Each structure stands twice: as C-alpha cells, then as structure tokens.
Amino acid sequence: MVTIVRAILTLVGGIAGYEAASIALSRMSLSDVYSLLFLGLGVLVGAALGLVLGGILGRRTVRLSQWVDRTTSRIGAAALLVTSLGMIIGLGVAALASLALKDLPVVGVFLLPMVYALGGYVFAYVAYKRHAEIGRLVGLRNLGSAPGKGGANAKILDTSVIIDARIGDIVPTHFVDGDLVIPGFVLEELQSIADSGDPLRRARGRRGLECVRALQDAYDRVVIADRDFPGLAEVDGKLIKLAKELEGSILTTDYNLNKIAQIQGVQVLNVNELANALKPVVLPGESLAVRVIREGKEEDQGVAYLDDGTMVVIEGGRGKVGQNVEVEVTSVLQNPSGKMVFTRLAS
C-alpha cells in the first residue's frame, strides 16, 4: 500500500512540477537548453516532493485501513446498513435545513458544511446505537451482533477444544449462545496436525476437522474468522489478541491457555471445568456399587471408576480386582484435574 501511494504521488508530483515550470517559463526568456534544464528541475523537485509525501500519506493510509478493519470487524453488515441509511436520512434533513440557512448574510455559506456534518453524524450515531430495535421494527431479526462478534457472547474456539470434540455434544443442547468463532489460524493448525506423519496426531487432527464440520451442520452461528496476527508466532497469543478485539471469551480445554488468558483479563470457558461441575455429587457415608479395575498406588488399595470417569480409590480393595463390590464413601477430593472419591469396603 505504501509503495502504491508513493508511486502515484511521485507521478502526480512530477506532472505538477512540469506544469509549474512551464507556467514559470512563460514569464521568463531563457534559451532552449536552459528551458529544458528548468523543466527537468521542476519535474525532479515535484517528483521528490511526491515521493516524500507519498511515504507519509501511505503510512497514514495503512494505519487508517488497519483501524477500519478493527472497527468493522466489530460491526455486523446489518449494523453497517442501518447506520448508512441513518446517515443518508441525516444528510437529507440537513439539506432541508440548508434551504433556510444558505440565504443568511455572511455566515450562511460557512454554516452549511457544519449543518451537513452534524446532521449526518447525529442520525448515523442514533441509527447505529438503535440498529437492533430499528431492524425489529421493520421485521428483521438477529441484528444484535456482528459476524464473529456477539459482544460477550462470542465464543472463540481453540485447537484443543475442537480436537476434544465434546463441544459438538454441548452445542445441540442449547447451553451455548452467541457466535462460535473458529479462527483461520486454528484451522491451519488442525490441518497441519491432520497431515502429520504420526498416526495418533493425524487421527486427532482429522477428528478436529470432523468436529468443525459437525458444528457447522448443527449450529447456524459458526463463523470462520480470517483475522490473523502475523506479528505473533504462538497460536495462544493470537487467540488472546482476537478475544480482546472481539470482546469475547475463549473456549478451551488447555489449562495453560486458561491461566494465561485470565491473567490478561480475557474470559475463559473451560470444557473440563464444565464437565467437573456436572459430575454427580457424592457425599461421605453414601454407598456405591463399583467394579475394581486395578490395584492402587498405596498398599491394599484398589481403583474403580464411576460412569462419568471419576476415580474411586478403595481401601482394602487390592484383593478385589475384577470383582463388583459395594463401597462406602469416606471423603471426596476436588482438584484442578478432576474429582477423586475415597471409599472403603462396605463389609
């Protein structure tokens, strides 16, 4: 962009320098040789000025385009449409008001630009702030959020939660609302995993891609976001940056990403924490019927599992491996990795 703007202004500057030198020569009497040198100098000076101004303007244009990109990524097409209509109506109202102002002595001409600017801005601002209500008045729905941004409702999926695939079971239950945003750089990471030479990694990557497809079929607010951050090498850093831009939250099963995002003030929804919260409550004194799967770490301990995967440690269960036994709960330990139930044989 900078190079293009600089080239255009260099060309324009050279032409302007030539025209200015020609006008100056018409008022001077120089020989043909000096006239050519003067014209060349005019072109050179004009092109140099255009080159310098083009670099400055080009960099400003790049910054403006980045700002416009960040701003429009937060605004849906519906909001842009309603805002544009509001600005057009505001300009129309300003045109009517200008009929009464243009004939005012002295100040009339100077008031017109202010009236047009103020009218367009006020009506566009009101239309943007109330675009959802305006859309509902004319029979349109789902205008409250932008693609890839539902305010605090936007959920940005990372690689781990897609490969985990439990999000595909959660979405049809309607416990998740707002947009599900899948960044393009996450899809690229999934693709690289699916193309891995390691059979286990390849299977995980393919399961993730299948999960994305299943989400698109089950939920009509899955958005593939093309936003990328070339200055950041790590996917986790890009996810946090995107979440800040969209003012959304990150869906993950990655414990480290969970902590880093929380430190940086980004809301995190961890599927593992949700699964732990939904596990049945087991209280001390209750009886459970379980099957001892293997021996425990400590002497005379056996290990069993509940249907939801909760580990049950059984005192005196080492000799009961492979048997169905009835146990009594003695205590429950909750830690970041899950819940552990400590029991003893009921007999």
Largest CA distance in the chain: 122
Strand partners, 58: none
User: At residue 77, does pLDDT exceed 70?
Assistant: no
Assigned token pair, 207: 């399961």
> Any idea which of 53-57, 238-242, 340-344 has the lowest mean pLDDT?
53-57
**346 with 327: CB under 8 angstroms?**
yes
Does domain 287-345 correspond to CATH entry 2.40.50.140?
A: yes
For the chain, what percent of residues have pLDDT higher than 90?
22
Give domain 155-277's CATH number out of 3.20.20.70, 3.30.930.10, 1.10.3720.10, 3.40.50.1010.
Answer: 3.40.50.1010
Helix 235-246 to helix 255-263 angle (10° resolution) is: 50
Using pLDDT thresholds of 50, 70 and 90, give the confidence band for residue 326. very high
User: At residue 140, does pLDDT exceed 60?
Assistant: no
What is the tens place of the pLDDT at every residue in 257-284?
A: 999 998 999 999 998 888 877 777 788 8
Question: How many Å apart are CA 179 and CA 248, to the nearest integer?
Answer: 9
User: At residue 22, does pLDDT exceed 60?
Assistant: yes
Give me the mean pLDDT over the 279-302 stretch.
86
pLDDT at 148: 45
Domain with CATH 2.40.50.140 in the chain: 287-345
| Pair type for strands 249-252 and 268-270 | parallel
What is the value of pTM for the model shown? 0.50
Domain with CATH 3.40.50.1010 in the chain: 155-277
- Residues shown for the chain: 347
Strand partners, 288: 327
Secondary structure of residue 292 in the 3-state scheme = coil
- Identify residue 99 by its one-letter amino acid code: L
